[in-house]
Amino acid sequence: MTDEQFEGMARRIVWLTLASVGVSACGGGEPPRSSDVPPPTTTVPEAAPPTSEPSASTEPPPPAVATKPEALPQATPQGERCREDSGVNILAGLNPVKPVDYVAIFQAMGKDGAAREGEHVGARCVGASDELACNNALKALRPEPGFHISCRPGFCTHGVAFTRGNEVGLADDLDELKAFLGPIDTEGEATLIAWAEGYNPGTCDELKKGTKKTKDGFELVVEKMTADCPIEISEMKLKISTNGELKELSKKVKSKNGACVGRQSAGVTLAGATSEDSRGHYFAECADLERAAVFAFARMAAELRALGAPAELVGDAQRARAEEARHVKVMDVLAEKFRGESTGVTLPELELRGAFEVALENAVEGCVRESYGALVGLWQAERAEQPEVREALRDVAQDELRHAALSWRVAAWL
């Protein structure tokens, strides 16, 4: 793949994502439903039994539709709380207002296309008199507007689908979900509400350890991505009341990873940034990541030369180093604009490594981090509101596209 092909592919990905989000974020739609109104449902009509009267038609009769009496569930399937991978089944332990045969997370991506079934408990349409019609009605469901919007870059939406005898339904906003569940009286329901609000339960053991029943609901400890570039994962303590109201009680940053900006190299230490303005903090951290990238490309050029790489690759690595130095100045200006300040970067000695270490770092920091960072940069350049920020990010993103393409060429040579 040439650099031009790589750039074209990256731009197409971003533009398709922008188009998808733009369409989905605009337009009309139904007004929000009150939380005392249950989610809309479809009742599948009972199939008529086949007639025994003779027909004058020469066409063969259609196959008989298997029918049975509708069977309403007496209790909701509970499922296993802990999955085999130590994750949490967010649909286990529910106690909805009316029992259901089956409950599932339905996910939709982009503007069009059918939703796909995710985690589920119970057997779909098991109580329907016409299981085929019930399944067809279920397949037609699509969560809009949906909740727990995620899947970056871009978006996806989720809803909670269910079947109850001949009834097929979908709760695809928080009010409908709360109406479906009724009082939040189980740990499973508290976990599902937190997940629908954008929090993630972590591992099953972590959730068990951090969950406590209170006199008017539940407290639980979950995770949430509280910043997306650099990526910041925070541990959040929540209070979920019996009426479904969610309140954050505390927040503690659990991990940070600048996975979408710059290129780091082994031994580099980032001290962080300070600012009361989140924008200043962000751009100050970006400036430090760019400082780390200056060192990374200097090391790359030296190591490629030592390994006997083509002069073109060595020269492009040196050019990338100079461009990263310019990015430092750009990000410093933006950080200062929003009152952000860097606290420094610690760089190791420029020691040369063997081919395996060079290839591994290039795969992680170049083929993954910089490729993703180029997409994020293009996205930010199109979405930033202030012209000064937009132009600065657009220039940086253009360089990062070349740096990502260089990483793939280096990988091919190694």
Q: Alpha-carbon distance 382 to 379, whole Å?
A: 5
Choose among 20, 34, 41: nearest CA to 109. Answer: 20
The average pLDDT across 276-284 equals 83
Query: What's the whole-number mean pLDDT along residues 257-280?
Result: 69
Alpha helices by DSSP H, 26-173 = 131-139
Q: What is the largest CA-CA distance in the chain?
A: 93
d(CA 330, CA 342): 13
* CATH level 2 (architecture), domain 260-413: Up-down Bundle (1.20)
Residue 110, pLDDT above cutoff 70:
no
| Strand residue runs (E) in 86-140 | 102-109, 116-122
Average pLDDT, the chain: 82
Task: Tell me what pLDDT residue 220 has.
Answer: 94
For the record, the structure tokens of 257 come out as: 């990873």
Write the burial class of residue 167 (CB in 10 Å: 0-12 exposed, 13-18 middle, 19+ buried): buried
How far apart are the C-alpha atoms of 124 and 191, rounded to whole Å?
23
- Per DSSP, the three-state class of 162 is strand
Least Cα distance to 242 among 180, 190, 172, 179 occurs for: 190
Rounded CA-CA distance 356/307 in Å is: 11
Q: Using the predicted structure, report yes or no on whether residue 389 has a pLDDT greater than 60.
A: yes
- Range 76-88 average pLDDT: 91
- What's the token pair of residue 36? 């005392």
Whole-angstrom distance, CA of residue 147 vs CA of residue 170 = 12
Give pLDDT, residue 350.
Answer: 78
Q: In the chain, where does the domain assigned CATH 1.20.1260.10 lie?
A: 260-413
Which DSSP string do the residues of 322-364 spell out, in sequence order? HHHHHHHHHHHHHHHHTT-EE--EE--------HHHHHHHIII
Give percent of the chain above pLDDT 90: 42
Q: Tell me the C-alpha distance between 213 and 80, whole Å.
A: 20
pLDDT in tens, 17-74: 544 444 333 333 333 444 456 777 777 766 555 555 555 555 655 555 556 899 999 9
Pairing of strands 269-270, 345-346: antiparallel
Q: pLDDT band at 8, cuts 50/70/90?
A: low
Task: Name 269's Cβ contacts closer than 8 Å, sequence gap at least 6.
Answer: 345, 346
Q: Could you read off the pLDDT of 204-226 as tens digits, one per residue?
A: 998 999 999 999 999 999 988 87
CB 158 within 8 A of CB 24: no
